[in-house]
Amino acid sequence: MIRVEHLAKSFGDVTVLRDVSMEINSGEVISIIGPSGTGKSTFLRCLNLLERPSGGSIQIDGVDVLDRKTDVAKIRQKMNMVFQSFNLFAHLSVLENLTIAPIKLRGMPRQEAESKSLELLRLVGLGERAADFPDELSGGQKQRVAIARCLAMEPAIILLDEPTSALDPTTVSEVLAVIRRLARDGMTMAIVTHEMAFARDVSNRVFYMDEGLIYEEGTPQQIFDHPTREKTRAFINRIRSFNRRLTSPDYDLYAMNAEIEAFCEKHILPRKTRESLLLLVEEMLQVYAPYLRAGALDLTIRYSEKNESVESIWETAGEPANPLDSDRLPDELGLSIIRSLTDSSDYRRVNDRNRLTLHLRQA
């Protein structure tokens, strides 16, 4: 649907985009992640022609949009954008924000525009706010209106530029819920986001942008679990994870402890958290000792800087089994310690593997 080749963009002497090439196919959800200032938003704005690229080409359904003869307004109707700062028309009601474009740009009769718009507002959970004005809404509500406004023009693709970055944490999830729903309904989307868990859940592919290009791309599993390139790994690790694969019951507990302590120090985890985590890991390794005789154990420790919470994920192959089932354990001592240290424990079978996720209780 969209094909970009060797896109470049400079602002004076500053080269923001060096050489970006990519494709977005119909129905795909692409997340674009990366450090600030690496051109993610500039890239989206180039797609939408809010910025004029310095070089390269952009084709939408085979049409070269950089051709002077191309009708830019028509392109923008196919491809709509949701901004970090909502950009609603303050002087228009919520409903009018949605109807103005279909009426003026598509010549839709007012009644039809209003009835379709009301439906969209209901879709994003704001049907009863149709008559209100943007300044009467919370940030999350404004952004949901912005998304509904996008949908009012029936775009083929929606570009979302950090849709939740300006929202306070309590309203982020309501907006992500709407975006998830659009993804489920098959909307093609390109989303610049810092919400990694969300990007992981909702995307078909993830682009990590750095150095003015798409530094690494892959499936969410590839980018978040097994990034191959150095800068991708450094970026991903800031928000998670300590990964170890243990292949034998003769693991070196103290070496593991040293690595976990280094991970905790790197993320400035409180002392109590570090102590609880180390004890939890030792107890869990004891639980897994019988399983290590049969196969490998993959341990992931995830620290969320946002929530200051620590999660550990324990994965083994083999027959379906929850290692914490008390009839598998020699006594209750280890289990009672594990239960005290954690406030949630989730066992499930994923891709023929047993996965146990434990959330460390916060002090």
Partner 1 sequence: MEFQARKEAGGVVVVLGGRLDAVTAPEYERRIHELVDGGDARFVIDFERLDYISSAGLRGLLVTARLLKAKGGQLRFANVQGGVRAVFEMSGFGSMFQLDESVTAALAALS
List of residues contacting partner 1 (CB under 8 A): 253-254, 275, 278-279, 282-283, 285-286, 331-334, 336-337, 339-341
Which one, 191 or 341, has the nearer CB to partner 1? 341
Which one, 55 or 334, has the nearer CB to partner 1? 334
Which one, 96 or 275, has the nearer CB to partner 1? 275
Say if CB 161 and CB 194 are below 8 A apart.
no
What residues have CB less than 8 Å from 44, skipping those under 6 apart?
A: 32, 81, 159, 161, 190, 192
Q: Record the tokens describing residue 355, joined without a space.
A: 């996965």
Q: Is 142 helix (H, G, I), strand (E, B) or coil?
A: helix
Q: Is 158 helix (H, G, I), strand (E, B) or coil?
A: strand
User: Alpha helix (H) ranges present in 84-152?
Assistant: 94-106, 110-123, 139-152
Q: How far is the CB of 229 from partner 1 (least distance, A)?
A: 37
Q: Record the tokens describing residue 139, joined without a space.
A: 């940030």
Q: How far is the CB of 310 from partner 1 (least distance, A)?
A: 17
Q: How far is the CB of 333 from partner 1 (least distance, A)?
A: 4
Cα 10 from Cα 53, distance rounded (Å): 8
Which one, 90 or 363, has the nearer CB to partner 1? 363
Q: How far is the CB of 184 from partner 1 (least distance, A)?
A: 42
Q: How far is the CB of 330 from partner 1 (least distance, A)?
A: 9
Q: How many CA atoms lie within 13 A of 119 on its CB side?
A: 9
- Pairing assessment for the beta strands 188-192 and 157-161 based on DSSP bridges: parallel
Which one, 8 or 278, has the nearer CB to partner 1? 278
Cα 169 from Cα 180, distance rounded (Å): 17
Which one, 185 or 331, has the nearer CB to partner 1? 331
Q: How far is the CB of 304 from partner 1 (least distance, A)?
A: 24
